[in-house]
Amino acid sequence: MKLARLGEIGSEIPVLVDDGRYFDLRSIVDEIDGAALASGAIERIRGAAAAGELPELADAAGMRVGSPVARPSAIVCIGMNYAAHAAESGSLPPEKPIIFLKTPNTVGGPDDGVDIPRGSLKTDWEVELGVVIGTKALYLDSPEESAQHIAGYLAANDLSEREFQLEVSGGQWSKGKCAPGFSPLGPWLVTPDEVDEGNLRLRSWVNGEPRQDSTTADLVFGIDYIVWHLSQFLALEPGDVIMTGTPEGVALSGRFPYLTEGDIVEIEIDGLGRQRQVMGQG
């Protein structure tokens, strides 16, 4: 299933997306968020859809698309999780997952405009596979347990300001990761039964020119391992998002210019949809 949220910021309507049609989920859930996922909403939606009980949402095609999951309690990110990206960053692939956090207020819709932060000269793009947690994961015994805690997958852009991240960071990365709108998510949350998470093509473009083109088969640490590993150090709550790392082809490599006002960034992941952000100036 593909789940989405349509409407203006703060008034999004939860919907099921099926073959270009949008079905209103408000008879099942008020929101697509951690509380709904923890309560078994996905299975209730699946049952209602199979029974033909969901009304179609009028005028859905003209509505803004929001993040498919509302305000996660945490956005946990995995750094340098593709060997080629680690190399273009001047590093060897990590022996253990590197993590950093983004604040929940960085979340935006897939096509929302994003402002380059004030004073920024090095704003960068990063297409990433996002994992949405469905049930609390803490101290999992093995990676094989991870799948039962995953609600679905989505496309994410881990926008980054590299000077803030690396040069004035004080040793941490979050200064360069937490500007408003720096975590566009969606357009859809896609349930695991429709996703081959180990073999997804990820691509990005700037002003129509190709930048990144890789596959999740090249991840240093796979999805099940990441969820298990994180659960040894923190409690992953329903609705939380894990960004699993970006492939090579970002501006940090020195091969491409950083983003400036008016640039158009697009990302796409097979089966998870496409995003488009027009960069403004903060």
Does residue 190 form part of some domain? yes
Does residue 67 form part of some domain? no
The one-digit pLDDT tens for each residue of the chain (282 residues) are 999 999 999 999 999 999 999 999 999 999 999 999 999 999 999 999 999 999 999 999 899 999 999 999 999 999 999 987 777 777 778 899 999 999 999 999 999 999 999 999 999 999 999 999 999 999 999 999 999 999 999 999 999 999 999 999 888 899 999 999 999 999 999 999 999 999 999 999 999 999 999 999 999 999 999 999 999 999 999 999 999 999 999 999 999 999 999 999 999 999 999 999 999 998
* CATH number of the domain residue 88 falls in: 3.90.850.10
Q: Are residues 17 and 101 in the same domain?
A: no
Helix, coil or strand: residue 131: strand
Of 21, 41, 62, the last residue of a domain is 62
Where in the chain does DSSP place strands (E)? Answer: 2-6, 13-18, 21-24, 75-79, 98-102, 107-108, 114-116, 123-124, 127-133, 150-157, 160-161, 183-184, 189-190, 201-206, 209-215, 241-243, 264-269, 273-281
Q: Are residues 84 and 40 in the same domain?
A: no
Task: Name the residue type at position 261.
Answer: E
Residue 222, pLDDT score:
96
Q: Are residues 8 and 137 in the same domain?
A: no
Q: Are residues 254 and 186 in the same domain?
A: yes
Q: Are residues 52 and 187 in the same domain?
A: no
Q: Which residues, listed in sequence order, are joined to residue 134 by a DSSP beta bridge?
A: none
pLDDT digit string, tens, across residues 136-195: 999 999 999 999 999 999 999 999 999 999 999 888 899 999 999 999 999 999 999 999
Q: Are residues 79 and 213 in the same domain?
A: yes
Does residue 70 form part of some domain? no
Residue 184, pLDDT score:
98
Residue 72, pLDDT score:
96
Can you give the residue range of the structural domain that contains 50?
2-62
Q: Are residues 55 and 112 in the same domain?
A: no
Does residue 148 form part of some domain? yes
This prediction's pTM: 0.96
Q: Are residues 18 and 86 in the same domain?
A: no
Give the number of domains in the chain: 2
Contact 271, 190 (CB under 8 A): yes
Residue 24, pLDDT score:
98
Q: Are residues 137 and 91 in the same domain?
A: yes
